[in-house]
Amino acid sequence: MTSWFPQPAASEITPPQVFAQRRRLLQQMAAGAAGASLATWAARDALAAATPAADKLAALPGVPSKVPGAQVQATPTPYADASSYNNFYEFGYDKQDPARYAGAMPTRPWTVRVEGLVQKPGVWALEDLLKLSPMEERLYRLRCVEGWSMVIPWEGYSLSRLLERVQPLGSAKFVEFVTQTDAQHMPGLRHGGLDWPYTEGLRLDEAMHPLTLLAFGMYGHVLPNQNGAPVRLVVPWKYGFKSAKSVVAIRVLEQMPTTAWVKAAPHEYGFYANVNPNVPHRRWSQASERTIGQGGLFAPKRKTELFNGYAEQVGQLYAGMDLKRYY
Ligand SMILES: Nc1nc2c(c(=O)[nH]1)N[C@H]1C(S)=C(S)[C@@H](COP(=O)(O)O)O[C@H]1N2
Ligand SMILES: [Mo]
């Protein structure tokens, strides 16, 4: 299977090559942008064409999603940046550690346990999850709590498709996501900091919202391991840490689960973690961000939007809630 996007071998991730590739992409972007105002999908195609061939990731195309809010009006981050500047602490804290080390993690066979307060608990093989619903492509902005964001075309479908299939019981109120702990391939597990496995959680209505994506691919191909292969969550109106990578279990619960970040630093990370420019992180402002890929890693800042720009779609989930208290 051929694909346009490189999954760099560890030996290939040398700064000069990364920066040369970035410069090339930016030049191509600039050339395109000079011609006309670049429509989002045209920009995506230009990026695909501009990215060198020769990698081992299988194609995973999706039809452009019609879910309201699924196509942000922004230029996608170059694949080279989205796959080399990552948070995946199981592989280390350096932004390049995931791209360096995650490639060795086996992602087949892979199963996801669905358990807890559901009519139909069970173990899903990845192959069956891939077939559960048609693949859609959604262009989402993902905002990291650290102050950067990326605009990424993801392949997947609404998590609600899976939850509807397993039928949550009437008592269900929350969903917990448990991620992979592979001591042999995840050097970061030896470091302290977080209590592994990395876990996250959503309220059931958040998990059922059509924008909450179960993602298997990006840029038309299966996920590179550093981005959470073979299956991850993408919750575009919340800070990036809610978007759990390499998910192995989904638990439907009555009580709000404690998440890895809430356990590690309860005064800095709340359960909700909705993107909110008016609620600073305890140690820094959240009012602005750099969108990686628009000017490379040295992009000018843009103003952060409430719910990361998805307020129209998700604002009603929080009607009447004090967002300063429930951050
Ligand atoms: N299992 C796991 N999932 C994770 C993380 C992590 O360290 N471990 N980091 C989170 C954070 S902080 C961010 S910003 C996003 C980054 O996703 P990306 O690398 O695909 O951009 O993944 C999230 N999911
Ligand atoms: Mo993040």
- Residue 120 contacts residue 165 (beta carbons within 8 Å): yes
Helix (H, G, I), strand (E, B) or coil at 25: helix
Helix (H, G, I), strand (E, B) or coil at 13: coil
What is the count of structural domains for the chain?
1
Q: Ligand 1: which residues within 6 Å by Cβ?
A: 86-90, 142, 144, 150, 179, 198, 227-228, 240-241, 243-246
Question: Residue 271 domain-assigned?
Answer: yes
CATH of the domain at 50: 3.90.420.10
Q: Which residues contact 324 (CB under 8 A, 6 or more apart)?
A: 278, 279
CA neighbor of 244 nearest in space, from 258, 255, 260: 260
Neighbours of 220 (CB within 10 A): 21
Q: Which residues contact 217 (CB under 8 A, 6 or more apart)?
A: 60, 62, 135, 154, 155, 156, 223
Question: Residue 108 domain-assigned?
Answer: yes
Q: What is the spatial distance between Cα 106 and Cα 125, in angstroms, rounded to a whole number?
A: 14
- Residue 141 contacts residue 153 (beta carbons within 8 Å): no
Question: Residue 282 domain-assigned?
Answer: yes
CA neighbor of 179 nearest in space, from 91, 67, 264, 253: 91
Tell me the pLDDT of the chain (327 aa) as tens digits.
222 222 333 333 333 334 334 444 444 444 333 333 334 445 555 555 444 333 679 999 999 999 999 999 999 999 999 999 999 999 999 999 999 999 999 999 999 999 999 999 999 999 999 999 999 999 999 999 999 999 999 999 999 999 999 999 999 999 999 999 999 999 999 987 899 999 999 999 999 999 999 999 999 999 999 999 999 999 999 999 999 999 999 999 999 999 999 999 999 999 999 999 999 999 999 999 999 987 766 678 999 999 999 999 999 999 999 999 999
Q: What are the CA-CA distances from residue 88 to residues 36, 43, 127, 221, 256 (Å)?
A: 37, 28, 24, 19, 24
- Closest atom of ligand 1 to CA, residue 226: 19
Please list all protein residues whose beta carbon sits less than 5 angstroms from ligand 2, which is an ion: 87, 144-145, 240-241
Q: Which residues contact 311 (CB under 8 A, 6 or more apart)?
A: 237, 305
Spatial strand order in the sheet of 174-179: 122-125, 111-116, 247-253, 174-179, 199-203
Give, using CA atoms, the residue closest to atom 16 of ligand 1.
Answer: 87
Residue 97's domain comprises 16-318
Helix (H, G, I), strand (E, B) or coil at 247: strand
DSSP codes joined into one string, 197-238: SPEEEEEHHHHHSTT-EEEEEETTEEPPGGGTSS-EEE-TTB
Q: Which ligand is nearest to the CA of 95?
A: 1
Question: Residue 323 domain-assigned?
Answer: no
Question: Residue 275 domain-assigned?
Answer: yes
Question: Residue 83 domain-assigned?
Answer: yes
Question: Residue 324 domain-assigned?
Answer: no
Question: Residue 88 domain-assigned?
Answer: yes
Task: Supply the pTM of this predicted model.
Answer: 0.86
Give, using CA atoms, the residue closest to atom 11 of ligand 1.
Answer: 241
- Closest atom of ligand 1 to CA, residue 143: 14
Separation of 156 CA from ligand 1 center, angstroms?
A: 17
